[in-house]
Homo-oligomer: A and B are copies of this chain.
Amino acid sequence: MSFMNFSKITDYALRILSHIAKDSEKVYWANDFCCKLDIPFRYLRKLLTILSKVDLLYNPQEKVRGYQLSRNPNSIQFIYIVKATGDDIIEQKCFFGYQQCPLNNPCGMYYKWKKISKGLISTLESTNS
């Protein structure tokens, strides 16, 4: 029952990385996020380890707790976060949800949908955390 939505996990990842980017020198703990970002604490903790594994976050030093961005915030495009958390941004999806187009020629929605899709993707590519 949704349309222009990311999955929850993507929403949360975007919130976290965007929040960290505001002060990317600081070392953050799970506690720093949960209240401000409206993410259930246990789920947040799970998510943080996921983000570490896909190399968006890391523990800054050996034997030190907490998280930082794994690289310069300017180089983390939103689209990378979206893809890393599993949302499939497909360049051109069928408006009717067909896996395989049953038509021989593009239907009336083909170009309109493509245009929207392109705009969306380029926005996600041109913005960073």
- Chain A positions near chain B (C-beta within 8 angstroms): 1-8, 11-12, 14-15, 18, 36-38, 82, 86-90, 93, 95-99, 102, 108-109, 112-113, 115-117, 119-120, 123, 127
Contact = CB atoms under 8 A, between A and B. Distances in A.
A86 B1 CA distance: 6
A96 B1 contact: no
A86 B105 CA distance: 30
Contacts of A119: 115-116, 119
A47 to B, nearest CB: 13
- State the main secondary structure of chain A at its contact with B: loop
A96 B18 contact: yes
30 contacts: A1-B88, A2-B7, A3-B5, A3-B6, A3-B82, A3-B87, A3-B88, A3-B89, A4-B4, A4-B89, A4-B93, A4-B116, A5-B97, A11-B97, A14-B95, A14-B96, A15-B97, A15-B98, A18-B96, A37-B102, A38-B98, A38-B99, A38-B102, A109-B127, A112-B123, A112-B127, A116-B116, A116-B119, A116-B123, A119-B119
Contacts of A12: 97
A120 B4 contact: yes
